[in-house]
Amino acid sequence: MVGFGETYFPAFALAVGLGEMAAGMVSSVPLVAGGLMQLASPLAVKLLRSHRRWVVICAVIQALSFVPLLIAALAGSIGTTTLLLVAAVYWGAGLATGPAWNTWIGTLVPPSIRPRFFANRTRISQAGVFAGFLIGGILLQYASTNGRSLHAFAILFGVAGVCRVVSAWMLQRHSEPVPLPANMRQIPWKRVRHHLHASSGGRLLVYLVAVQAAAQMAGPFFTPFMLMKLNFSYGDLVGLFSVAFFSKVISLPAWGRVAKKIGARQLLWIGGIGIVPLSGGWLVSQNFAWLMFLQVLGGIAWAAYELAFFLLFFESIAEEERTSVLTIYNLLNTAAWVAGSLVGGLVLSCLDMSFRGYLIVFGSSSLGRLFALLLLARIPSIVVDSGEVGVRTAAVRPGGSSLDTPVLPSLPDQIRDGH
């Protein structure tokens, strides 16, 4: 679903003539719906008395969201508001599954097999996402040469919807040994505010949210920049995504060994510093070979960053609080995602979507990541069980259509390049 469908939302917006701003916003602003819909997850799980039922319902809704996209591709037009509403349903249903799925899978997979299970699962899922993305890119490249790009998008969205239906069916077939964890409880906002100010985990979250906002200033706008300003083909786009994807996957085992040796906090410093110059690197040159080099560096740096924050952040969440805590934290993360993209969009709008405007946004994103390091310096040492590195390494997911943003584990899988 992600490879065939979600990845190509911005490209579809451009193909139907909605413009560069709409292409940037479709992968960011609708996330507000996801963040808000997550708030219903704990209550929905309690009412349904099952994490599985809630996850399956949301998965089916997400599959149905591709129907209007398919119709729009066949018709050759869709309004900006309609596209954003459809994307909001897609993201809302997808993000709402996250907290419940994380809690459910923790009760389903025995601790003794988790490292191997999640390693295998991640390799398979990454292969599936990349295969969908690659096949979709090849299809779009071929169709564009024959003037039939919109028909190709219709095929992609149809296949993506079918994939999600299969996914929902498979989820329904999962067992649910613990429908509701014992003493499942809601975390009050008052406690969350105190946690953000006083605890190591809270300070870590503040840093992550700052990085998310800085990265999203540029993230949604790389695709329209490449397609509209640099006149890259769909094939070029696939190539840039691919090298970042493979560099991330290849580097993850090495970063896992580094984390065991020097600790997750030190690894976060490596990743946090490594991601600073990536988007700013687009100011140096827009030569394709240079951008490929940046993508390789980006995949490696984002791999270190994501592995480190998974290790540091999620070790401290109790099972009975996990759904509630992930709901609140991901709401903040989503808010940062949208806020960053709105700031980037505002800058671009004020500069008439000019070539120079894009470069200013990309450079500002790097500056934001640099200043975020001041927040990282406030985080004291956090003890992490190195025996879980195998699990958390495997849980790191490929990046996304927004090209340059970290994700918390209850956000949906995406293909991300290394900006």
354 forms bridges with which residues in the sheet? none
Residue 393, pLDDT above cutoff 70: no
Q: How confident is the model at residue 400 (pLDDT cuts 50, 70, 90)?
A: very low
Residue 200 one-letter amino acid: S
Percent of the chain whose predicted confidence (pLDDT) is above 70 = 78
Other beta carbons within 10 Å of 49: 10
Q: What is the tens place of the pLDDT at every residue in 320-363?
A: 555 566 666 777 777 888 888 889 989 988 988 899 999 999 99
Q: What is the tens place of the pLDDT at every residue in 230-272?
A: 998 888 888 888 888 888 888 888 888 888 888 888 889 999 9
How far is 184 from 43, CA to CA, in rounded Å?
Answer: 11
Instruction: Kindly list the distances between the CA atom of residue 382 and the CA atoms of 125, 207, 258, 309, 321, in Å, as whole numbers in the listed order.
Output: 30, 14, 16, 11, 20
Q: Are 54 and 44 in contact (CB under 8 A)?
A: yes
Residue 416, pLDDT above cutoff 50: no
Q: Which residues contact 299 (CB under 8 A, 6 or more apart)?
A: 243, 244, 245, 246, 247, 248, 249, 251, 417, 418
Q: What is the pLDDT of residue 297?
A: 93
Q: Which residues contact 82 (CB under 8 A, 6 or more apart)?
A: 68, 72
Q: What is the tens place of the pLDDT at every residue in 88-110?
A: 899 888 888 877 887 788 778 77
Residue 208 one-letter amino acid: L
Alpha-carbon torsion angle 398, 55, 69, 234, nearest 10? 10
Domains in the chain with CATH codes: 6-178+187-395 (1.20.1250.20)
Quick one: average pLDDT of 195-221? Answer: 79
Q: What is the tens place of the pLDDT at every residue in 41-89?
A: 778 888 888 889 999 999 999 999 999 999 999 998 899 889 989 998 9
Classify 399 as helix, strand or coil.
Answer: strand
The angle, 0 to 180 degrees and rounded to 10, between the axes of the packed helices 80-108 and 51-64 is: 150
Token duo for residue 171: 């989820």
